[in-house]
């Protein structure tokens, strides 16, 4: 984590509007933000530079969805020190149970959470993981 930023975060989604909106929200609140548009691009980014404090990802994406990405992250022992947080509209218990079995740090449902609440929840999850509260 950089001294002048709260956390380094990797945002993963296939929705350009949401990526831009959340990126701006996190940057305005002193996060160091990198963005990628999908699971395959995210996997490559994590493999090349595994220094993210937070990996915030959607589940439904083309080519490689968030479930597959998370399974690869865990099986290849990537982002082991990162807080892995799901930000998805998938609110079914089966989806939540599936990703929770892969040791995530948090699950936020997009449709019922405004951007400022996402920021607050992500910060709280990261602070708890890294002993800041």
Question: Average pLDDT of 115-124?
Answer: 96
For residue 116, pLDDT over 60 is answered with yes
Supply the pLDDT for residue 1: 44
For residue 79, pLDDT over 90 is answered with yes
Confidence of residue 133 (pLDDT cuts 50, 70, 90): low
Q: What is the pTM of this model?
A: 0.92
What is the distance, to the nearest Å, from the Cα of residue 27 to the centroid of all Cα atoms in its chain? 15
Supply the pLDDT for residue 91: 83
Considering the domain 8-124 in this protein, what is its CATH number? 3.40.50.2300
Supply the pLDDT for residue 74: 94
Supply the pLDDT for residue 105: 95
Strands (E) across 13-120 are located at 32-36, 54-57, 83-88, 106-109
Does residue 39 contact residue 12 with C-beta atoms inside 8 Å?
yes
Percent of the chain beyond pLDDT 70?
A: 95
pLDDT tens-place string over residues 25-74:
999 999 999 999 999 999 999 999 879 999 999 999 988 999 999 999 99
The more confident residue out of 92 and 44 is: 44
For residue 5, pLDDT over 80 is answered with no
Strands (E) across the chain are located at 8-12, 32-36, 54-57, 83-88, 106-109
Supply the pLDDT for residue 50: 73
Please report, for the chain, the start and end positions of each structural domain, with discontinuous segments joined by +.
Answer: 8-124
């Amino acid at each position: 984590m950089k001294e002048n930023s709260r956390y380094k975060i990797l945002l993963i989604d296939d929705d350009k509007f949401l990526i831009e909106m959340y990126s701006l929200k996190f940057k305005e609140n002193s996060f160091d933000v990198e963005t990628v548009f999908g699971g395959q691009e995210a996997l490559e980014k994590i493999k090349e530079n595994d220094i993210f404090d937070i990996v915030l990802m959607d589940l439904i994406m083309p080519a490689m969805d968030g479930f597959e990405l998370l399974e690869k992250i865990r099986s290849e022992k990537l982002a082991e020190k990162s807080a892995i947080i799901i930000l998805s509209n998938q609110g079914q218990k089966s989806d939540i149970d599936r990703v929770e079995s892969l040791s995530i740090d948090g699950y936020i449902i997009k449709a019922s959470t405004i951007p400022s609440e996402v920021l607050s929840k992500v910060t709280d999850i990261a602070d708890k993981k890294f002993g800041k509260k």
